[in-house]
Structure 1
Amino acid sequence: MGKIVAVWSPSGGVGKTEIAKNLALTAGQTYRVILLDANLCNPDIAEHLGLYYEQGKTLSAALQLWNEKRLTPGALRKILQPYQKISVLVGSEDTIEQTDYSPVFFRDLLRTLSQLADFVIADMDSDITSPAGISILLASHHVITPFSTVPSTLGHGKVYMDLLKESYQMNPHKFDPVLNRAGEGGSVSETDIEICMKRPVIATIPYRKEYLQSACKGSPLVLEKRLLSKKLSRTLQNVVRKYAQKDVSLG
């Protein structure tokens, strides 16, 4: 069974998809990786990677398999789209009402996907009340939580982490802060995050306009041949090595 890594933050605009896609491609150089678009509000992994919403090869197809009690590794393998050295399950182009989904569906989906890969990396939206929210966080072995240098992201993170620990008995040790877009202009530092969250920052990614431009081009930065790309790849390789060696109890 592969490890499940969620990329989640209670704040929007902190670069969750940016981190998820580049992490998946970095891990894919060594491991079998599936990138899952579990963002029910703005499913845009397909746009970020230049993929298509092929009929029968989206999250809605997985939901149909589950409704028909046919959610098996073999059936899921047929709806994944190849990209570079990873496999991708894109979201639905026509966003389905969230009530059509079920937390149990996402639990079963992750369990089945983890039979096909060494790592399943889930790009999430900020809403923990959605069917994907708590279900994926509970099922994940690790949760990358990006922060920007804007102080409000730190305040939101603290409130939500306390909520997850107290209301859902979620293990705080599987949440790993990342300082994303460091140097963008805000006042939050690595030290601020570590003091507030009581967790070590596992990676710091500097602010560069190229990171944002890569989303518009459909070409993740780690695939480009430039010094900046190599630095980002090394940073994410350290995260992958950490997760390959470390086990954290679910919950």
Structure 2
Amino acid sequence: MTDSDVPVRCPACRREHAYAPPSYPCACGAPVVPPVARGATVTPVTDRTWADEWVIVRCRMCGRRDQWPQPELECDCGAVLRIPVRAVQAPSPAPSNPATPTTPAPPTPAAPPTAPAHTSPPLTTPTPRPAFQPVPVRTAQDAVTVAALYLRWLGYADIRGAVKRAPSGVRVAARGVIALIEPSVKPTSLRDVECVWLSAMAESVSCVCFSLAGYEEAARTRADALSVPLFVIDLTGTPQPVNSAADDLMSPG
């Protein structure tokens, strides 16, 4: 056991584990590690809700507070254990000094009108994204985590809402998008693509699909017609684009 490992005892079989918290990349580029609460009681996962799947962690480098996957450990007995994380304290408001009088600035005389300059606007280029940091896929939950992290990498903020079972797979909601993740060995079907597209249309948002086993040919054809981005998640935890809509979604800017 290293200094960063946390001792965890499974409440089901009483096995002892040395748990190393995962590291995720902050937007500033620094690694973010959920602050595991040493000595706290772990609980088996019996039912999954969105509130239990994510925790708020503050980056030590830039102070950014963001949502990251709730640390979990799979015991040899088959139990999945939820590892408690220390709560993040809200930042204190800046003190105010109402007793200090303020003097209004003297009015500035208006400048005489000038003719507009006929110059060309400066050329700008989209800011490139940092490289996506994959998370190895060992379980179905890992695939859902990768898809959520990838959505954030694409620029979809405020990933929240219920993780709920679709006709097949798992749906994750973010601001402006609904994502369907199929974490099984079954290819995503035509019905799956059409259902998530219809749901997105009803909520006036975009949609995107992630799959571990790929897509049926009819599903790919329909996704191309509806401009639904399709991605395949490999076992390294890196989503790969399958169609042109996915390529366009990955394009910076």
In the superposition, the TM-score normalised over structure 1's length comes to 0.32
In the superposition, the TM-score normalised over structure 2's length comes to 0.32
Higher RCO (Cα < 8 Å, 6 or more apart): 1
Q: Could you say which structure has the higher helix fraction?
A: 1
| Structure of higher CA gyration radius | 2
